[in-house]
């Protein structure tokens, strides 16, 4: 079982490369980038895995501060489990101190849901992570809603946010980063009551 001194592995899920940067499927990268800015560091290539990492601390100075390793897997979404598990093992992070930040079709755009464990709901990044290390990690689920009309899910998640959605996107990414910080500092129940919508 984990304790307060254990590090946290914060994983933003997405696909590498500029073609994917603004896609709905890459919102995990967007939140990870904002957390990196808040920490005041830059991502570097991991030695131990196909990923970019940033080590730092989140939270106020003192005992409430949490040691974190921010991760952006560079393996493409459906292979995220390999690099995440390699880094979890390298940094000796308990699985319940792993947080995946990802887009979620079954949550409306503008809403956020935090949970521990559960299924992958067809999300290839979660599917890969769960296959590699089991389901008992935290998820910060950023709602993107369902595709309109007959659009295929794969096409929808690999499209950029619409112009209407982009008006709120920076605020929602900011709120998601706040939710991650709250989860680490105050625990899941407190973060759920503050941010689940």
DSSP class per residue in 167-197:
HHHHHHHHHHHHHHHHHHHH-HHHHHHHH--
Angle at 12 between CA 54 and CA 118, to 5 degrees: 130
Length of the chain: 197
Catalytic sites, residue numbers: 25
Q: What is the C-alpha to C-alpha distance for residues 89 and 100, in angstroms, rounded to an integer?
A: 16
Query: What is the CA 169 to chain-centroid distance, rounded?
Result: 15
């Amino acid at each position: 079982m984990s304790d307060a001194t254990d590090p946290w592995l914060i994983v933003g899920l997405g696909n590498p490369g500029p073609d994917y940067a603004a896609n709905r499927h890459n919102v995990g990268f967007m939140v990870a980038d904002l957390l990196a800015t808040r920490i005041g560091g830059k991502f570097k290539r991991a030695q131990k895995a196909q990923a970019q990492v940033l080590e730092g601390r989140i939270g106020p100075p003192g005992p409430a501060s949490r040691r974190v390793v921010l991760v952006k897997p560079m393996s493409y979404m459906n292979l995220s489990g390999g690099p995440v598990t390699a880094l979890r093992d390298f940094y000796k992070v308990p699985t319940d101190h792993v947080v995946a930040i990802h887009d979620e079709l079954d949550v409306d755009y503008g809403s956020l849901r935090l949970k521990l464990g559960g299924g992958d709901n067809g999300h290839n990044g979660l599917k890969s992570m769960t296959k590699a290390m089991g389901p008992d990690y935290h998820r910060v689920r950023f709602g993107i809603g369902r595709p309109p009309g007959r659009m295929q899910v794969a096409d929808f998640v690999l499209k950029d946010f619409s112009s209407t959605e982009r008006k709120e996107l920076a605020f929602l990414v900011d709120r998601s980063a706040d939710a991650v910080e709250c989860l680490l500092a105050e625990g899941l129940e407190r973060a759920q009551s503050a941010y689940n919508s």
